[in-house]
Structures are given as structure tokens and as C-alpha cells.
Structure 1
Amino acid sequence: MTQSQSIRQRDTITLAKQGEPELLETFLNYKLKPKGISARVRKKQRHLLVLLEGIEVCPNEEQMMKLLRQIASKLDPKKVEKIRVCGQQKGDDIPNWLQIIETGESTAAQGDLKGWLDSVKITPSLLSQTEGDPNSDAQTGQRFLRFHLGAEDTALLAVNAVKEVLSVSGEKILPVPDVASSVLGLHNWRGEMLWVVDLNDLLGFSALWEIENIAANINVIVLQVEQQEIGIAVRQVETIEQHDWQKLQPPEGLFPPHILSYAQGYLTEASSIILDATALVKAFNQNGR
């Protein structure tokens, strides 16, 4: 090996340890393409964003996370703080699984959508697509979207009522006079005017503007019920989970009256309230405008 080749090799190793996305993407595709998986890597500040896409089935979460943790252990934590990883089958609109790896640590936490999925399509077809088995969801449960509610709590919504998740600047929501306090205004969504409602305010919690700078980005969950869409603004969207719907407990006696009418029930295994998308849309139609 010549001196110039040795220098180039050292430079390549240095760049790889700093999380150079093109180098990591090339390495991942070298390892994974024979298995029918393609990789895309992007870097935002000190965060790496990794999308793994299977041609025929969703990449195996356990196997992929083992590989990515090995890579994380080699990275300079001063240059890369986190690796956000998602896996999906080609053609799906949203990842089947999401994980976050803290560099230098061996454990991974569930990933959040905020900050790296600016606009995500969620379709009901995902309820029957897991590892290429069309019957798997019927066997293991239903998919739910988890998001922040109030200052410290979280809640769940069934994915089949969620059409899209947006990251929206509060400045792009047009205030409308003479509407309920929970209505933030109108947002231009796909050329249509979408009503945006502060879910915190609607359910009796502190309004978003009291706990969050909504002039910056907020998450808006677009609900579709009977061909009608509204956007519910929340502080943060976290992840997609799967739970057994049959374990849902009735909401009566578990929640105060101002929340009870919007609750489908409570899932003990998820320690979360399940909100009723139909009730939210109905309440907006009756009281919002």
C-alpha cells in the first residue's frame, strides 16, 4: 500500500467514525442488498437517519438493530449522538417499526416521529401488513399511534382513523375569528383547507401555546372519519405500537366526564387511554365552528 493510499484509507475511516452518511449507506447496502434490503442514510446535525426497505418483506427488526448497534459502537459520540432507524416493506407509506440508538449505549428506545418524518402517510392497509403475512395483524392486534397529551401524559389513536401526520409551523395556521378556543385555525393541506384543533384545549388540558412554542413546528394528526378530515394538534408524536384490541377496558369510571365522551377505553398493557377519532370529529362539527 502506497503512502497516498494509506492516507486515503485513514481519511475514510475517520469520516466513517464521524457518521459520513454516504460511506455508511454504501457499507449497509453492501451488507444488505444480497438479502433484498436497501438502505438510505441521511444526517441532520448529530443525528443519523437510517431507512431500511425490504423488497418483499419488512426487514427483521432484531437482526437490523443488532447490525446498527455494532455500527453505533464504532462511531464518535461527539459527532453522532443518535441513530434513528426505521424498517419498512417497499411500497408501504410508513415504517413498520421505529427505533433509536444512543451511540455508545447497547440499548435502544422506541423512536419518535417528530423532527425526522416531516410528513408521513398512514394508510389502513398497514393494519394487515406485517412481515409479508396478510393475516398477522388479525392474530396479534391492532396498530395505534402514540402521542403526547397534556404536559406529561400520552394517549393512543387507532391508525385506521389516521390519514397523515404533519410537522407544521404555527405561522402557517391561519387564525379564524368567532370559533371555539380549541380551534387554532385553517391550514393549507394538499390544496384543501384543513381545520386544526388543539387537542389539549379540547380535552380540558392546558392549551398548547401554554406549554409549547407553537410558532415553531407542531405535530398535526390528520383524522379521517366518513370522508371528513380534521387536524388535531399535539405536542409530539412518538411511535406506532401494536396492542390487543380485545383487552380494551370500558372507559366508564376511569376518566372525568369531560374526557369520557372522547374515550374508547383504556389499555392496561399500554398504560394508555384510547381516544375515539369519530367522537373527536363529531365534537368539532358540533362545537368547533
Structure 2
Amino acid sequence: MVGNPDFLTGKGEDGGPEFQELESPEGELHLRFYVPSGNEFALPATGIREVLEPSPNQITAIPNASPLLLGTLNMRGRVIWVSDLGQFLGDTIAVNTDRTEIPVIAIEDQDTMLGLAVDRIVDMDWLDIDQLQMASNVPDTMAPFLRGEWVLDQEQGKFLRLLDQVAILRSARWAT
């Protein structure tokens, strides 16, 4: 079967070989996801260590820790803190932990790793950085952690906001 020349190229309508055009992606690869408030965000794939979906009982609550932290998670022998990204960014709606799995995005910079619990993960997309605009009408609690936004639908106020994972990791909010 693999030795058959039709398997490799296929035959076009005119009987000649049919070649499939491969599109080269435009922009940079990003992970798109939602927080519980319904806001959509993206993170550059280069800053993501791993995407996990642990059950809530795999996240160990830590007493007297910041209310932004859900607890710790053991990732192949490495303990990482897991935070509620929506609440970290100033949303009042907490991530739902009463479900079978919680989407967690593990971000990393140098030797620091943090898990960001989100409502749901959409997919990976190639996004054009040249189309990125300055973020407008964002809360002061969110602004320091944004690189900008893509306008998805101006009339309905739908934006895809690009987060800065290094700013999130190095935030002084983790100390409170």
C-alpha cells in the first residue's frame, strides 16, 4: 500500500498527481482559555510548561496561604502552587472546584513554576502579534499582567487578551 504511488500523491481530476498545499502558520502559537467570568485570555506557548487536568482531590489545600491559591499539586515529583487565575486578575467569580477535573496551565520562568486554574481551555491558535492592540477598559487589577488584546468583536465587546506569564509569576500579590 505504501509502495503504491497513488498513496503518496493521490490522483487529481485530470489524472495527474494531486499535491496538497501546506499552509504555513501566521503569527505565534498561543493557548486560548476562559476564566469563570467568561473573559477569554491567551498565553504564549513558549511560556507554558504543561497543561494538566487534575481532580480536585489532587490539589492539597494549604492553611494560612493566600486566598488566591487553591493549594499545591504534585507534578511528577515536583510540587507546584495552583492559583485561581480569574481571582488573581480581579474577577469575583471563583473557579468551580466541584467537578471531576480542573484545567490547570503550568507556567514557568527560570526555575519558578505556577499552576493557573481556569474555567476551560479552548485550543492552541496561531495569533498575529502585529494585530495586538493596547488593552482598553480593563480593571486596574488586570492591567499589569496584560501585553495587549485582539479585538474579536468590537460591537459585542469581545476581546482576546494576551497575558504576560512572567509578570504573573513575579507579582507581589502572591505575598498577601
Q: Specify the TM-score bucket, using the shorter chain as the normaliser.
A: 0.7 to 0.9
2:122 is aligned to: 238
The answer to whether residue 140 in structure 2 is matched with residue 264 in structure 1 is no
The answer to whether residue 157 in structure 2 is matched with residue 273 in structure 1 is no
* Equivalent AA in structure 1 for residue 170 of structure 2: K
Question: TM-score, structure 2 length as denominator?
Answer: 0.78
Matching residue within 154, 167, 171 for 2:40: 154
SS of residue in 2 equivalent to 1:249: coil
Matches of residues 1-289 of structure 1 in structure 2 within 5 Å?
34-35=7-8, 136=24, 140-205=26-91, 206-208=93-95, 212-251=96-135, 253-269=136-152, 271-283=159-171, 286-289=172-175
Structure 2 Cα separation of the partners of residues 199 and 250 of structure 1: 21
SS of residue in 1 equivalent to 2:102: strand
Structure 2 Cα separation of the partners of residues 35 and 222 of structure 1: 40
CA deviation after TM superposition for structure 1 residue 255, in Å? 1.1
SS of residue in 1 equivalent to 2:137: coil
Percent of counterpart pairs with the same letter? 25
Q: CA RMSD in A?
A: 2.4
1:72 is aligned to: none
Larger relative contact order (Cα-Cα within 8 Å, sequence gap ≥ 6): 2
Is there any run of 5+ residues in structure 2 with no aligned partner, and where? 10-19, 154-158
CA deviation after TM superposition for structure 1 residue 262, in Å? 1.0
CA contact (8 A) 1:198 1:233 kept: yes
SS of residue in 2 equivalent to 1:278: helix
Is there any run of 5+ residues in structure 1 with no aligned partner, and where? 1-28, 37-59, 63-130
Distance verdict in 2 for CA 1:256–1:167, change over 3 Å: same
SS of residue in 2 equivalent to 1:257: coil
CA deviation after TM superposition for structure 1 residue 192, in Å? 0.7
How many residues align structurally? 154
Structure 2 Cα separation of the partners of residues 172 and 221 of structure 1: 15
Deviating above 3 A after TM superposition, structure 1's stretches of 4 or more consecutive aligned residues are none
CA offset digits 1:141-166 (Å, max 9, x no partner): 01111111233221111111111100
CA offset digits 1:188-247 (Å, max 9, x no partner): 101110110110111121111xxx244521000010112321100011111011111012
CA offset digits 1:72-108 (Å, max 9, x no partner): xxxxxxxxxxxxxxxxxxxxxxxxxxxxxxxxxxxxx
Structure 1 Cα separation of the partners of residues 57 and 36 of structure 2: 22
